[in-house]
A and B are shown apart, each in its own frame.
Chain A
Amino acid sequence: MLEVTTDWYLTLAAMLFAIGFMGMMIRKNALIMFMCIELMLNAVNLTFISASKHFGQIDGQVFVFFVLVVAAAEVVVGLAIIVSIFRKQSSASVDVLNVSRG
């Protein structure tokens, strides 16, 4: 009956990316915004993997590996920044962060 084509995977990835971007816009907690970045990165990974399957090339999966490593590094540094901001402001809300306002 229903055949699952590459289009379905790409549409799923697009929906996941849209949800991540929407969360980025409506949430104000820096931690939640980080999770939304993770959602968007995962949506991109899904497109890479489905394209890898579609074209029969392994390079897409190698690229996902790189994205994973960069995401891990980004999370490590970002969470350290959030922790040090929290020590100063005792809040993780991005609207409170106006210390460089003139």
Chain B
Amino acid sequence: MVEALLFFAPASLIIIGALIVIFARNPVHNAMGLVMTLVSLAIIYITLNATFVAMVQMLVYAGAVMTLFLFVIMMIGVDKKEQSTDSIKGQTFLVSGVFLILISLLAYVAVSSDFTWDLWFPPVEYDVEGTPQLIAGVLFTDWILPFEIISILLIVATAAAIALAYDIKKRSSNA
């Protein structure tokens, strides 16, 4: 009972937050909907024994990434007059229809008991607790090469962001 509640409460918040992200007109509201989704996902991660990932989700996504989004929203202003005409005729209507059918089909699949995803094995009996120790033990042995590659990726991304956002004309006229 508690297990079901711990799934359905965050799950409904995830779906509501996602719908806010795609339907709200004010970009700040969209960002807040995304925060709702991300925090609820962190709760679900905790119930799935992935405590380290849940913490990283809170810090990196709900913290850093969302702050970045809000900074950019404030920088470029709240663009309320988003163009409402479609460049492809009937795009919004058609896509909404197709996806509402798809999403309601998925919801039906979720509640009907005769459907299962083909997962090869039944779930294992033991629990794997995703503690920082256990993650680090795998990360720094089996996954050391991807780990080093993403460290390079982060440096490149930081340098690229500075190079892109640096306004050369403005700087040189000030100096």
Contacts and interface: CB of A to CB of B under 8 A. Distances in A.
Interface of A: 1-12, 14-16, 18-23, 25-29, 31-32, 34-36, 38-39, 42, 45-46, 49-50, 52-59, 61-62, 64-66, 68-77, 79-84, 86-87, 91-93, 95-96
B82 A28 contact: yes
Contacts of B82: 27-29, 93
Nearest to B82: A29
B109 A11 contact: yes
| Interface of A (DSSP majority class) | helix
Question: Chain B interface residue count: which class?
Answer: 35 or more
A54 B128 CA distance: 10
Interface of B: 1, 3-4, 7, 11, 14-15, 18-19, 21-22, 27, 30-31, 34, 37-38, 41, 44-45, 48-50, 52-53, 56-57, 60-61, 64-65, 68-69, 72-73, 75-76, 79, 82-83, 87, 91-92, 95-96, 99, 102-103, 106-107, 109-110, 115-117, 119, 121, 123-124, 126-128, 130, 134-135, 138-139, 142-143, 146, 150, 153-154, 156-158, 160-162, 164-165, 167
